[in-house]
Structures are given as C-alpha cells and as structure tokens.
Amino acid sequence: MADDITRVDGYLAGSDDRRADELNGLIADPDVRAILLARGGYGILRILDRLDAGALRADPKPIVGFSDATALLFWALAAAGLRGIHGPVVAQLGDLPVGDTTWLVDLLEGRGQGRIIEGLRPTGAVRRGRVEGPLIGGNLTLLSHMVGTPWAADVAGAVLFIEDQGERPYAIDRYLTRMALGGALRGAGAALVGSFTRCEERVNLPQPDAAAVVDERLRAFDVAGLAGAPFGHGDENQALPFGGRAALDFDRGAVELLDPAVG
C-alpha cells in the first residue's frame, strides 16, 4: 500500500500524475492478478490518456468497479481488448447481500456462464423473443461523457446496461438524448436497466419519475429493454461481465449471462 494513500488534491485523491502512476504500477505488477477499485466518485476520466494499455495487454487482469469506474472499464475494453467486471467496489462489500459478494468471487474465478436473473419487467420499445449481445454499459452519466472519446464502445448489437444515482429525471433524459444524438444508441440490440437511486425530482411539480423517463427515451429511440435488474447504487449490486455476452428473454423477463468475465 502506498504510504500517501490518504493524499488529497482538491476533490481528487492526489494529482493526475500520481493517480495514473499508481494505477499503471498495479497494471504492470505481475503479482497483481485483479484490480478492485475502493470506491467511486470522480477522477478516472482525467487519467485515461495516461494509462498503459500495452502493459494490460501483456499481463491481462480483470478490473472490477462501477460508477466512476465505468470509464476505466471502457478504456480496458477499447484500448487493451480486456473484459472487466462491472461490480461492487470495496466500500460496498460490507453492505451487500452475501450472494452478491459470492457471485463476484465466482466471476473472478472464471465461473459465469448460465447465471439467470429473473423477475424483470419490460421497458422501452415492445419486443418479444430473445436478444443476444455483449454487455456494454454502466453508469449513465459516465456513458454520456464517454461519447466522442477514443474509448467509447460500439453498442451495435450490444445489450446496453445502465444505472445511476442522484440524477434528476430531466438529467437522465438529457444523458440518454445526448447519447442518441451522438450515435451511441444506434443499433443497440436491447437495454438492461438497473437501479436509479435517489433520482427523484426535487421540486413539488407533477413530473415523470426516472423509470418513466428511461421508458419514454428508450421507446423514442426504438430500443427494447428489461428493467429492475439488481445492479448499481442500490441495496444490491450483482456483478456483470463487461463485454461478455448475455441474452435477454423478453417473454420470460430474464437475462442469462453467456460468457465468463475473465477470458
């Protein structure tokens, strides 16, 4: 552990150079077999262009995180061709159901095929049957900010998964609309919607809630989805293999993971 781990630089945990150097050191260290982020917040976008994709390709290791780590997962996939894990950060582990942490360990150990999440509800455009594609997504705010960067993933044919926290409904509308206008929803095979925690409107006026906004925007962009998946900032955060294939069954209201996270 670094001896200056509590260093603060404004609202960041140290300067960009210091944080990038530490992460690059973990990527290059042959004794480090996985990188599990401690928490979310903000700052990864600032260091993406300083990270060593060649070192990650030479010594592949899964990166685990969500929220701000969405940017890092996109970078690893685009720059190094490495699938990561959209899953709990260290600060969450003590508050999650035991099954969520057990499932994360299963994914880290290469077990992932065949897991089924049921009890989901339809959202967006009407669709029947089954859609398969790679799981691409994460925090909606970060997804919208990745549009136009070198690390924005191609969602054509993908299962786009989204979640967020603390964003008002109109902001959720803005992010999805921005993605669509930037071509980031073009050709998406389907959407998987997780938790939108503390995303209520703060003024006492009749307005749609977050779920209604997501439903309306997905319908407007002709994307069918399933909502209520247990991932994100809520009480559950079940890990997903970022870039691994999944199948959405609209008739059954379920998603099946087809690929392991490590590989």
Which of these is catalytic: 86, 144, 195, 233?
233
Distances (CA, A) of 259 to 83, 87, 221, 249: 10, 15, 28, 16
Catalytic, out of 86, 144, 163, 195: 163
* 67 has catalytic annotation: yes
Q: Cα separation of 187 and 229, whole Å?
A: 22
Question: Contact at 8 Å (CB) between 226 and 263?
Answer: no
Closest CA to 82 of 103, 60, 98: 60
Active-site entry in 67, 86, 144, 167 = 67
Query: CA–CA separation, 228 vs 211, rounded Å?
Result: 10
Nearest to 251 by CA among 72, 113, 129: 129
End-to-end CA distance of the chain: 28
Report the alpha-carbon distance of residue 151 to residue 76 in Å, rounded.
Answer: 8
CA dist., res. 68 & res. 228, Å (int): 21
Active site residue ranges: 67, 163, 233
